[in-house]
Chains A and B, each alone.
Chain A
Amino acid sequence: MSQIWLVPAFPLLGFLLNGFFGKRFGTRFVSFVGPLAIALSFAQSLVLFFQMLEAEGNILKEHLYTWIASGNFEVGINFQVDQLSALYLLVITGVGFLIHVYSVGYMDGESGYYRFFAYLNLFVFFMLILVLGDSFLLMFVGWEGVGLCSYLLIGYYFEKESAAEAAKKAFLFNRIGDFGVLSAVLLIFLSFGSIEFATVNAEAATRLEFGGTLVTAITLLLFLGATGKSAQIPLFVWLPDAMEGPTPVSALIHAATMVTAGLYMVARLSHLFVLAPFTMNVIAVIGAATALLAATIAITQTDIKRVLAYSTVSQLGYMFLAMGVGAFGAGVFHVMTHAFFKALLFLGSGSVILAIHHEQDMRKMGALKNKLPITYITMLLGTFAISGIPFFSGFFSKDEILWKAFSSPLGSPWLWGVGFLTAGLTAFYMFRMIYLTFHGNSRLDAHTAEHVHESPFTITVPLMILAVLAVTGGFFGVPHVFNLIPNGMENYFHGFFAEIPSGHGAVSTEWTLMAFSVGFALLAWFVASRLYHSGFELAAGFRRKWEWAYQLSLNKWYIDELYNTIIIQPGRLISTYLLWRLFDQNVIDRAVNTTGTVARTIGNTIRPFQNGLIQNYALVFTLGTFLILWYVM
């Protein structure tokens, strides 16, 4: 037996121990149990990974318990490990472990320390259920569970109003997506009679017509769910607000793992999605649009975590762009590399924030390079990776996506163009962040500046490990064009995803495009260094010139305001005047009050009969007796 159940069991045990006894046993116990649970889980995931590689058909299955059995419909608690879930397992538990260790240092001295680790363990548990489940229902359990943990962790500082609001916002936006997933699962059940991934993937082509309405509806609804979880247009606005949570949470949930659940679902059902070219086009266009939109917002944000949050939204858009053009492997590859470098960048930003006493505004940083050398170097490596500087991990995955967007039959030069533009913007805002934070003149106030020191080793060691991964992670999937080593990613996923007709395009075109995007990224780096390295006159001049564009970007394209106007305000008006004043008060309240009035009137009418005079009762009693006697005789 492969003992898959052990993988989620360790974090669950950690959650129970920390949640129920953490307060009593103190922080040492909690900081031991929390990371250990994930470490054990990681070890088991590694074992499973190698077992899976050798297993027949590259799949391990385990039946734990029959959950629902009704007629010939059966849902079990079944776990499966295949290429996709094994990769996710390693990322979740591996990056998760590093972030747990980091949290020991980062959360030191916070109130509710045990609560934090309990939630974090619970999150990992649900995330593992999500990727291990072999049916929609079990995936949905994990899907909802991670949403819950995300809510709890965003609202970790629940006494702060903005945090509570952000948690609510995240939850509500996710609910809209969940509605899509549930409807899609119902449609799948109606058309397949089964909700197991294996059945759906295997029978999709025979049961559903290519490009038909049904399959388009199912995939669009699933994609709606994915936009909620993975923060795409139109449901992306919750993710930047989710930065109200502690930084490790942003790194683990809102960058590395949970937000890639939507991508996981699309990749898992690749055989279903390729049947709906319309949906694929929608995914590609939405992905590209989200990537560009978020990148344009990120270039003017001043909060270091918000820059990274919009960068996450943008990179998720990239991944969806890859899915939409049928490059599922490339998308999942980018999920992996992104998990490394984005977790690294978030943790690095957390290290900065911790060093300067919870200041997140980059305008008040600067010149931290020498004070925080480890943080600086690791974050710089992460920035190289995300910007697509050659031979860092992001370069390979991003180039793969851009090339597929250009060459795939589902792609187009337009999609490539948007991706290309986004790549440049990405390099620009990332280097802007680096320059504002670590270079130039110090803008810290004198008191804080004196006390800046490098973070403890529980923080720097995870940073260094992630930096190594962010630098080297790309070599798992070196594109063919380099002819150096075989494309590991492609071999790994061989035959797993649905095949689409291979793209056209010459090797020389690929080289040219790659040179373009690298050149553009380097140019953006240069521009950022000119604008932000020291003195901001140039940047201020640009700002004055394009004030309207600056405001548009700074205010996030006014999307929150737009949603407020077209959804929240009408909703409030309808609730107030239609539902409350009209329906609640006039129908429900009135029905209840009328019932009361009727009862009271009847009571008032017959009350005088009970006047307390016993002889009256005797008289009535006697008359009654006579009446009955008279009637009987």
Chain B
Amino acid sequence: MIPIEHILLLSAVLFTLGVLGVMLRRNVIIIFMSIELMLNAVNLSFVTFARSMDSMTGVIFIFFIIVVAAAEAVVGLSIILSIFRTRKTLNIDEFNILKW
């Protein structure tokens, strides 16, 4: 049995990687993937606690998160696609017209 701390640490590391990816990378697809990574890091924490507490609540949360993530992927990818069509680039620094 792997100690619970190890799994939580892994989850934290994955989440931090996701945050850093969102903040530092420029490619929209990568940023999008980093968001998914953060979601899955959270999922990992949930399943760990569900297991250690012997409760189904955490697992139910995971189902919801997966559903939401799927929906988000549909919407997000379509947005990215249409942005790419109009601006011919995926560099997020170029998408700065929504200001002031």
Interface residues of A, Cβ cutoff 8 Å to B: 607, 610-615, 618-619, 622
* A548 and B65 alpha carbons, distance in the complex (Å): 104
Q: Which residues of B contact A607 (CB under 8 A)?
A: 100
User: Which of B19, B93, B100 contacts A613, CB < 8 Å?
Assistant: B93
* A566 and B74 alpha carbons, distance in the complex (Å): 82
On whether the beta carbons of B22 and A615 are closer than 8 Å, the reply is yes
Task: Give the nearest-CB partner of A611 in chain B.
Answer: B99
On whether the beta carbons of A613 and B96 are closer than 8 Å, the reply is yes
Interface residues of B in 51-89 (CB under 8 A from A): none
User: Which of A610, A615, A619 contacts B92, CB < 8 Å?
Assistant: A615
On whether the beta carbons of A619 and B99 are closer than 8 Å, the reply is no
Q: Tell whether A619 pairs with B23 under 8 Å between CB atoms, given A610-B100, A612-B99.
A: yes
On whether the beta carbons of A612 and B23 are closer than 8 Å, the reply is no
Interface residues of B, Cβ cutoff 8 Å to A: 19, 22-24, 92-93, 95-100
Jot down 16 A-B pairs with beta carbons below 8 A, ordered by A.
A610-B100, A611-B96, A612-B95, A612-B96, A612-B97, A612-B100, A613-B93, A613-B96, A614-B95, A615-B22, A615-B92, A615-B93, A618-B23, A619-B23, A622-B19, A622-B23
* A613 and B92 alpha carbons, distance in the complex (Å): 8
Q: Which residues of B contact A610 (CB under 8 A)?
A: 99-100
Q: Which residues of A contact B97 (CB under 8 A)?
A: 612
Task: Give the nearest-CB partner of A607 in chain B.
Answer: B100
On whether the beta carbons of A615 and B98 are closer than 8 Å, the reply is no
The minimal Cβ–Cβ distance linking B78 to chain A, given in whole angstroms, is 17
On whether the beta carbons of A612 and B98 are closer than 8 Å, the reply is yes
* A610 and B24 alpha carbons, distance in the complex (Å): 19
* A214 and B98 alpha carbons, distance in the complex (Å): 73
Most buried by B among A607, A610, A611, A615: A615
Number of residue pairs spanning A and B whose beta carbons lie under 8 angstroms apart: 26
* A615 and B27 alpha carbons, distance in the complex (Å): 11
The minimal Cβ–Cβ distance linking B57 to chain A, given in whole angstroms, is 23
Task: Give the nearest-CB partner of B93 in chain A.
Answer: A613
Task: Give the nearest-CB partner of A608 in chain B.
Answer: B100
* A615 and B23 alpha carbons, distance in the complex (Å): 5
Q: Which residues of A contact B96 (CB under 8 A)?
A: 611-613
Q: Which residues of B contact A614 (CB under 8 A)?
A: 92, 95
Q: Which residues of B contact A611 (CB under 8 A)?
A: 96, 99
The minimal Cβ–Cβ distance linking B39 to chain A, given in whole angstroms, is 15
Most buried by B among A610, A612, A619: A612
The minimal Cβ–Cβ distance linking A633 to chain B, given in whole angstroms, is 15
If A615-B24, A615-B92 are given as contacts, then 18 extra A-B residue pairs at C-beta distance below 8 Å, sorted by A number, are A610-B99, A610-B100, A611-B96, A612-B95, A612-B96, A612-B97, A612-B100, A613-B92, A613-B93, A613-B96, A614-B92, A614-B95, A615-B22, A615-B23, A615-B93, A618-B23, A622-B19, A622-B23
Task: Give the nearest-CB partner of B97 in chain A.
Answer: A612
* A615 and B92 alpha carbons, distance in the complex (Å): 8
The minimal Cβ–Cβ distance linking A628 to chain B, given in whole angstroms, is 15
Q: Which residues of B contact A622 (CB under 8 A)?
A: 19, 23
Q: Which residues of A contact B19 (CB under 8 A)?
A: 622
Q: Which residues of A contact B100 (CB under 8 A)?
A: 607, 610, 612
Q: Which residues of A contact B23 (CB under 8 A)?
A: 615, 618-619, 622
Q: Which residues of A contact B92 (CB under 8 A)?
A: 613-615
* A612 and B99 alpha carbons, distance in the complex (Å): 5
Task: Give the nearest-CB partner of B24 in chain A.
Answer: A615
The minimal Cβ–Cβ distance linking B31 to chain A, given in whole angstroms, is 8
* A615 and B94 alpha carbons, distance in the complex (Å): 12
* A619 and B100 alpha carbons, distance in the complex (Å): 19
Task: Give the nearest-CB partner of B99 in chain A.
Answer: A612
* A611 and B98 alpha carbons, distance in the complex (Å): 8
Which 3 interchain pairs have the tightest Cβ spacing?
A: A612-B99, A612-B96, A612-B98
* A607 and B99 alpha carbons, distance in the complex (Å): 9
* A67 and B61 alpha carbons, distance in the complex (Å): 67
The minimal Cβ–Cβ distance linking A74 to chain B, given in whole angstroms, is 63
* A618 and B97 alpha carbons, distance in the complex (Å): 17
Q: Which residues of A contact B93 (CB under 8 A)?
A: 613, 615
The minimal Cβ–Cβ distance linking B21 to chain A, given in whole angstroms, is 10
Q: Which residues of B contact A619 (CB under 8 A)?
A: 23
* A613 and B95 alpha carbons, distance in the complex (Å): 7
Q: Which residues of A contact B95 (CB under 8 A)?
A: 612, 614
The minimal Cβ–Cβ distance linking A621 to chain B, given in whole angstroms, is 9
The minimal Cβ–Cβ distance linking B52 to chain A, given in whole angstroms, is 22
* A348 and B96 alpha carbons, distance in the complex (Å): 85
* A610 and B99 alpha carbons, distance in the complex (Å): 6
* A612 and B95 alpha carbons, distance in the complex (Å): 7
* A622 and B95 alpha carbons, distance in the complex (Å): 20
On whether the beta carbons of B22 and A618 are closer than 8 Å, the reply is yes
Task: Give the nearest-CB partner of B25 in chain A.
Answer: A615
The minimal Cβ–Cβ distance linking B95 to chain A, given in whole angstroms, is 7
* A619 and B97 alpha carbons, distance in the complex (Å): 19
The minimal Cβ–Cβ distance linking A418 to chain B, given in whole angstroms, is 81
Task: Give the nearest-CB partner of B19 in chain A.
Answer: A622
Task: Give the nearest-CB partner of A625 in chain B.
Answer: B19
Q: Which residues of A contact B98 (CB under 8 A)?
A: 612
Q: Which residues of B contact A613 (CB under 8 A)?
A: 92-93, 96
Task: Give the nearest-CB partner of B26 in chain A.
Answer: A615
Q: Which residues of A contact B24 (CB under 8 A)?
A: 615
The minimal Cβ–Cβ distance linking B79 to chain A, given in whole angstroms, is 12
